[in-house]
Amino acid sequence: MNTQKFNLILRPWNMDDLDNIVKFANNKKIADNLTDAFPHPYTREDGIAYINSFGEHPDRVNDPLRVFAIEVNGIACGSIGIFPQSDVHRKNAEMGYWLAEEYWGSGIMTVAVKNMVEYGFRTFDINRIFARPFSSNIASQRVLEKAGMKLEGRFENSLIKNGQFLDELIYSVIRPNH
C-alpha cells in the first residue's frame, strides 16, 4: 500500500530478512509489550526459527499465510499475524504484531492493522478479530482504536510481565454486515 510517507507491504518472511528481524526484534521495549514467548535477547537462532515457522519455507504448515513481515520502503521492520481460534471460538481470530522502535509513531502500524483486518475477513471464515494489548501499552491501544477496533473489556491484574501485574485489554472488530 502506498501512502504519502511510506511504502508499506505485508509479505511472507524469508531468510533474506534474517539480519533485519534480529536487529529490530532484539529490543527490550518490544519484548516488554509481548508475551513471554517472544525472546529477549533475540538471537539469530530465534530469527531462523521464526522465519522457518512462519515464512516462505517448504515445511510451513500455516496455509493460508497467517504471519507477515511488515516491509516499509524495502526494509522488513516488523511482523503482524492473525491466528484463527478453534472449538466454540472458531469464528474468531487473534491478531498480534510488533514494529521496530525507529518506526513507532509513524502511522505504519495502524495501516498494517487495517490491512490485516481486511485480509483476515477475506481469507478466513471468521466473524470477529481481536487483539489483547497490555494496559501499559498505550501506543498499541491507540493503534487499534485508529484502525477501527473497539475496547470490549479489561481483565484487571490478569497478566504478569517482568514481575508486575498488568490489566489485559480486549479490542475487537466484527465483520461488516453482521
Q: What would the pLDDT profile of 100-159 be if each residue is shown by its tens digit? A: 999 999 999 999 999 999 999 999 999 999 999 999 999 999 999 999 999 999 999 999
Work out the burial of residue 83: count CB atoms within 10 Å of its CB; fewer than 13 is exposed, 13-18 middle, 19 or more buried: middle
Whether residue 163 has pLDDT greater than 70 = yes
Q: In a 3-state reduction of DSSP, which class is residue 31? A: helix
Residues contacting residue 94 through CB under 8 Å, at least 6 positions apart: 82, 83, 85, 129, 130, 131, 132
Whether residue 59 has pLDDT greater than 70 = no
- When mean pLDDT is compared across 33-47, 58-72, 74-88, 145-159, the lowest value belongs to 58-72
Please report the pLDDT score of residue 1 as a whole number.
36
State the Cα–Cα distance between residues 154 and 47, nearest whole angstrom: 32
Whether residue 58 has pLDDT greater than 70 = no
Please report the pLDDT score of residue 62 as a whole number.
56
Distances (CA, A) of 37 to 7, 30, 50: 30, 12, 11
pTM equals: 0.91
Q: Which of 45, 28, 25 is nearest to 100 (CA)?
A: 25
State the Cα–Cα distance between residues 50 and 117, nearest whole angstrom: 22
Dump pLDDT digits (tens) for 6-47: 899 999 999 999 999 999 999 999 999 999 999 999 999 999
State the Cα–Cα distance between residues 147 and 30, nearest whole angstrom: 20
Please report the pLDDT score of residue 26 as a whole number.
97
Higher pLDDT, 59 or 33: 33
Residues contacting residue 65 through CB under 8 Å, at least 6 positions apart: 12
Banded pLDDT at 55 (limits 50, 70, 90):
confident
Whether residue 2 has pLDDT greater than 50 = no
Please report the pLDDT score of residue 177 as a whole number.
80
Domains in the chain: ranges and CATH = 8-130 (3.40.630.30)
Going by the DSSP 8-state scheme, the letter that residue 81 receives in this structure is E
Neighbours of 10 (CB within 10 A): 19
Whether residue 61 has pLDDT greater than 60 = no
Whether residue 95 has pLDDT greater than 90 = yes
